[in-house]
Amino acid sequence: MTATAIPADIQRVEPAYKHALRAQAAAFWVPLFIAALVINGLFLSQTPVADVLPAVLGLIGLSAITVAPERIYRRLGYAIDARLLRTVRGWLFHVDTVVPFVRVQHIDVTRGPFDKLFGTATLVIHTAGTHNSVVSLPGLAPERAAAIRDAIRSEIRADAE
């Protein structure tokens, strides 16, 4: 395993998830940049720090929109077998979570506005316990998220019978 990739046995999420992340970042950073331009024009234009605030926010925002989504996508994946779901994520902090199906309480498939726009969904698994009791796997195709949900649900039913 290299430092820039996920383990070989892990499946990647949908490439469209990168675009959803970019759109979410833009929805956050563009208004901040506009506010920085307004503040700069109204209060800072005649000071020695004129144009510093928009320049700094612009660079940070541009990085958050262009670089961060690619890094997040490259380090997000999952594996599923007959008894458990494994999710791997982490750009700054690596998290490898294993969810045994016997601990699953209920399962949701969610789609926000950006998910709908880019054709992705998030699988949310609620488990028994308190630590890591909610595990989410974003960036799946809606059909794949529903198939995983149904597979987990059928496994839970088989264990209960």
117 shares a domain with 144: yes
pLDDT score of 99: 92
62 part of a folded domain: yes
51 shares a domain with 101: no
1 part of a folded domain: no
* Strand residues in the chain grouped as ranges (E): 11-12, 77-80, 84-89, 95-100, 104-110, 121-127, 134-140
User: Does residue 129 come out as left (phi exceeding 0), alpha (psi in the -120 to 50 range) or beta?
Assistant: left
pLDDT score of 5: 58
d(C-alpha 105, C-alpha 103), whole Å: 6
pLDDT score of 29: 98
pTM of the entire structure? 0.88
pLDDT score of 74: 94
pLDDT mean values, one per 10 residues, the chain (161 residues): 63 97 98 97 93 96 96 95 93 89 94 97 92 92 97 82 64
Contact predicate 75/11, CB 8 Å: no
67 shares a domain with 113: no
66 shares a domain with 89: no
d(C-alpha 149, C-alpha 85), whole Å: 11
pLDDT score of 1: 43
Tell me which of 72, 93, 119 is where a domain ends: 72
6 part of a folded domain: no
42 shares a domain with 114: no
d(C-alpha 40, C-alpha 129), whole Å: 49
81 shares a domain with 52: no
Burial status of residue 73 (CB atoms within 10 A of its CB: 0-12, 13-18, 19 or more): buried
100 shares a domain with 50: no
pLDDT score of 131: 80
pLDDT score of 129: 81
How many folded domains does the chain comprise? 2
Range of the domain at 36: 12-72
Residues 25, 27, 31, 36, Cα dihedral to 10°: 10
103 shares a domain with 88: yes
Query: The domain that contains 149 carries what CATH number?
Result: 2.30.29.30
